[in-house]
A and B are shown apart, each in its own frame.
Chain A
């Protein structure tokens, strides 16, 4: 799985979609609900369901990151699965709100 910056992925188990903001330093598998995500344009494998411990949900517009590899994604569509890299659950990036400057 080549997690290039800007590449877009969709969940195999729910409606979630994500775009890679920062790639991992070493190759890895981006997962949702415990299953590898698939390229946006690809066909979804049928019949998969989210693992019980990977069903925390994905919120649209939130950024999720993996400390170990430095990878960061932006959720572009919400879903019921939760995101992980090689089985490590991604953490929510708590962004400090900046005063509006534009």
Chain B
């Protein structure tokens, strides 16, 4: 099944519903479908194997994504924030290709062999030109819908392959067709080159929920747009949420139209989500865990879970606020040990998933096992009620004197301390142990004593897991999709050693 069918179905049923952009002057479904056909045909005529996008967020995104799908070419959004040299290297890997590029970014990527550049303004004009509008697009047999380059924290970025069947399987199994009411609107502020940016388009369209774009995130702009466009749904990464709450508090503003706020991309600091639940009691909070390779979400902590956890005195239930909830009913999820054996509740291992939405593939390399299971490279464990706790990338595991130590486990303990706003735990080179445990703390007001913090870790875990190096910072380095940049911290801390 092709992604373009998702749009064709909705455009058939609700042609006049506004689906893209402002309530005032946005595109309705039938206009969007027409633009998609015109834009897709125009891009295909430019030649090449891939359709690349380099630019800021905006309503051109759904048009290009569905346009590429409609003409059977993979859509490849690139991260325009990369340094020019890296961006050009990635672009060269997409050749032969046609690339839609923001007008003010064209100069950065000119002259890459095999890549035909078109400006975003020329693309927009082509979409709106009925002359480009073919009656019917020919059927095609294309398989790859999207190529997404991973952030490449440990080497050259890999191109994750998402086929039409993976994306459509995720969409039709997790979203009710046309299930959104007419007044619903989603604010998209996650970047277009991130899986959450792709899935937001597909699920929004299939559900019939209007998509509103914020081109670049600032908490003030986010709040302003949410109010103006009567936003009912949004997805944010943890750092965004804290900053949005600051703005609301400072302005004494509420978000009366907001019904649901989902978050993901990294661990949510406990104080932030508690504050969010208190400040926005009318909002349904959803924590979503997923990977590029799994076509987005594989586990969710739903609104009821949040309410029950925050109201509970039972520490086992209350700690669910730090879990990513339960796996989607449409897939299988297991925790496995180092030899691939399935582990029981409470045992720490690697998260494995299997299901129709799981792609588990990179260009020229399949990463999924023959029996369909995909190793996520995330450490984690399930509690006795089936709630999943994710402890971060296994690449980040600290090996201290032969013992494997997961930073996430220590971070969870420290995050529970009232004076800790945010924390990162990482391994630093150590002459005696190979690596030693270091903690970088963002204090919530006054700095806590490191003796107290060390005693807390020791009491909950064990002494070998107690950080030996403590640092304080005003903020931790995150990328724009909420991933903690441990390597940045490691470089800083190693330098000052």
Contact = CB atoms under 8 A, between A and B. Distances in A.
Contact of B204 (A21, A40, A102): A102
Nearest to A41: B139
Given A5-B165, A6-B164, A19-B1, A96 B329 contact: yes
Interface string A18-43: 01111000000000000000001100
A100 B1 contact: no
A96 B302 CA distance: 13
Interface residues of B, number: 43
A101 B286 contact: yes
Nearest to A19: B1
Contacts of A76: 5, 8-9
A29 to B, nearest CB: 20
Contact of B1 (A5, A41, A77): A5
Contacts of A1: none
Interface string A57-82: 00011110000000000101100000
Nearest to B174: A98
A62 B9 CA distance: 11
Contacts of B322: none
B296 A60 contact: no
A95 interface: yes
A97 B303 CA distance: 13
Contacts of B288: 101-102
B273 interface: no
A63 B262 contact: no
Contacts of A63: 172
Given A19-B5, A21-B169, A76-B5, A102 B196 contact: yes
A102 B203 contact: yes
B57 interface: no
Contact of A99 (B264, B303, B329): B303
B286 A60 contact: no
B200 interface: yes
Contact of B172 (A8, A21, A97): A21
Contact of B297 (A6, A77, A101): A101
Contact of B262 (A40, A60, A99): A99
Contacts, number: 79
Given A19-B5, A41-B139, A99 B177 contact: no
Contacts of B329: 96
A99 B174 CA distance: 9
A38 to B, nearest CB: 15
A93 B297 CA distance: 21
Q: Name which of A6, A77, A100 has the most chain B CB atoms within 10 A of its CB.
A: A100
A21 B177 contact: no
B2 interface: yes
A98 B178 CA distance: 14
A99 B260 contact: yes
Given A60-B177, A61-B177, A62-B177, A101 B264 contact: yes
A87 to B, nearest CB: 25
B199 interface: yes
A60 B9 CA distance: 8
B110 interface: no
Nearest to A73: B1
B403 interface: no
Given A21-B1, A96-B329, A101 B235 contact: yes
B8 A102 contact: no
B1 A99 contact: no
A24 to B, nearest CB: 16
Contact of A61 (B174, B178, B204, B284): B178
Contacts of A101: 174, 235, 262, 264, 286, 288, 290, 296-297, 300
A20 B169 CA distance: 11
Interface string B333-356: 000000000000000000000001
A99 B178 CA distance: 15
B132 to A, nearest CB: 24
B328 A98 contact: yes
Contacts of B165: 5-6
B233 interface: yes
A102 B177 contact: no
Nearest to A6: B1
B13 interface: yes
A6 B303 CA distance: 34
Interface of A: 5-6, 8, 19-22, 40-41, 60-63, 74, 76-77, 95-102
Given A6-B2, A61-B177, A99-B302, 18 more contacts: A19-B1, A21-B1, A21-B169, A41-B139, A60-B9, A60-B12, A61-B13, A61-B178, A62-B177, A76-B9, A77-B12, A95-B173, A95-B176, A96-B329, A99-B262, A101-B235, A102-B186, A102-B297
15 contacts: A6-B2, A8-B5, A22-B356, A60-B13, A61-B13, A74-B1, A76-B9, A98-B300, A99-B260, A100-B203, A100-B260, A101-B262, A101-B288, A101-B296, A102-B297
